Amino acid sequence: MSKIRAAVVGGGIVGLAVARELLSKLPGADVIVFEKESAVGTHQTGHNSGVVHAGLYYEPGSLKARLCRRGVGLLEKLAADKGVTYEECGKIVVAQNANELDRLRAIYERAQANGVPDVRLVGANEISDIEPHARGVAALHSPHTAIVDYVGIGNALAEDIVTAGGTVLLGHEVAAIATGDATSANAGNRRVSVTTAAGVETFDLVITCAGLQSDRVAHGAGDSAFPKIVPFFGDYFLLSPEKSSLVKGLIYPVPDPKYPFLGVHLTKRFDGAIMLGPNAFLSLGREAYRPRDYSLRDIADAIGFGGFWRFASQNLPAAARESRTVVSTRSFVKEARKYVPAITMADVHRGPRGIRAQAMNSDGTLEDDFVISGKNRLIHVRNAPSPGATSSLAIAEYVVRESLSRAGLLP
């Protein structure tokens, strides 16, 4: 039997984890990662808060819940093995008034159902024991919620791929993917062809993990146009180093279940910096990381999508709140001061921007769970939002097992 060839499209943390898992399950296989950028992990992997989510929020039994809990353990072990910074700094989800208490109790019940260890509800006095400068009427405490260097994890995964005999091709943007009869002269019996500027290669199995471009890559290869990616940016501010002692770990608001974003929170980063944010607002580009960046194609794609307007019309109060934090630093800081009143305008400066690949259905409803589509020898990871980075190694196990089964390539 000839050597199995497999390709992964996308060099973010999920794609790299999938390639590493393929090499583990198919020893001796020829595995190639195609990444359009000059380094791995340059998009969502390198533009997030660095939180290792414990599994507080997710519907019990969902893929998110199951893969998050599995992913935490795998991620912690990999970080320890590779010397990547990982810290269990703990997290509190803080209720500011009595109206939020029922939602806080519901989160606690979900966390227990999902097997999150040592979570507990605490009163106002205990909040200050955990986070001396935080204020609220009650909180949920998750002591094992952690932070990690996700770019460091991505680099470690890439090194493992190369060590195991795989290849990571940087600067190789995939232009087309086709199934059926391959067009190259030496295609043989390969089932899927991948076209880049360097030419056409054929593979027994292709798995796409394209993040912000996942819908376009999948649809271009013959998959459904939906769910569609609508990009939302999130800005962060940074506390000045001399005020970093105001936050010991992670301080989060009680999320509104009707809205997919958590609201402004305070997050210790793996390097010790304290981040405030993010907010969430429609981005002018899927990869527009600077305020003046934009893409006419991405703008037209989002505002020309009827589902987006249906979503927006149903979330007007949240949109108004988020827009205030976009145009006004004072409003942004005011949101953070609800939880840590000691923060002042003078204590913060603008930090990085992240962009979330929000998957949306044709009717404007949001895809909340991980979504895997495709068949036979071409599989697409269509939706892997937060806790996608936390769950990446577990997602890889799941996707590779499913892919090898569908392709009839199980050893």
Q: How long is the chain?
A: 411
Mean pLDDT of all residues in 188-206: 90
Count the Cβ atoms, other than its own, within 10 Å of residue 99: 9
121 pairs with which residues across the strands?
140
User: Quick one: 295 exposed, middle or buried, by C-beta within 10 A (0-12, 13-18, 19+)?
Assistant: middle
- Asked if residues 82 and 148 have their Cβ atoms less than 8 Å apart, the reply is no
- Asked if residues 384 and 211 have their Cβ atoms less than 8 Å apart, the reply is yes
Q: How confident is the model at residue 117 (pLDDT cuts 50, 70, 90)?
A: very high
pTM: 0.95
- Report DSSP state, residue 338: T
**pLDDT digit string, tens, across residues 121-137:** 999 999 999 999 999 99
**pLDDT digit string, tens, across residues 300-348:** 999 999 999 999 998 888 888 889 999 999 999 999 999 999 999 999 9
DSSP per-residue string spanning 279-312: --EE-SSTT--STT---HHHHHHHHT-HHHHHHH
- Asked if residues 185 and 193 have their Cβ atoms less than 8 Å apart, the reply is no
316 versus 362: which is more confidently predicted? 362
Q: Which of 99, 120, 100, 133 is nearest to 56 (CA)?
A: 120
Handedness of CA 360, 379, 217, 160 (dihedral sign): positive
Q: What is the pLDDT of residue 321?
A: 84
Residue with tokens 């992670």: 250
- Asked if residues 228 and 215 have their Cβ atoms less than 8 Å apart, the reply is yes
Mean pLDDT of all residues in 12-25: 98
**pLDDT digit string, tens, across residues 41-98:** 999 999 999 999 999 999 999 999 999 999 999 999 999 999 999 999 999 999 999 9
Handedness of CA 332, 335, 338, 340 (dihedral sign): negative
- Asked if residues 210 and 37 have their Cβ atoms less than 8 Å apart, the reply is no
The tokens describing 38, both together, are 């000059």
- Asked if residues 142 and 116 have their Cβ atoms less than 8 Å apart, the reply is yes
**Cα dist from 120 to 54, 70, 114, whole Å:** 13, 21, 14
Q: What is the pLDDT of residue 1?
A: 53
Q: What is the pLDDT of residue 260?
A: 67
Domains of the chain (ranges; CATH) run 5-45+151-227+368-407 (3.50.50.60), 89-146+230-360 (3.30.9.10)
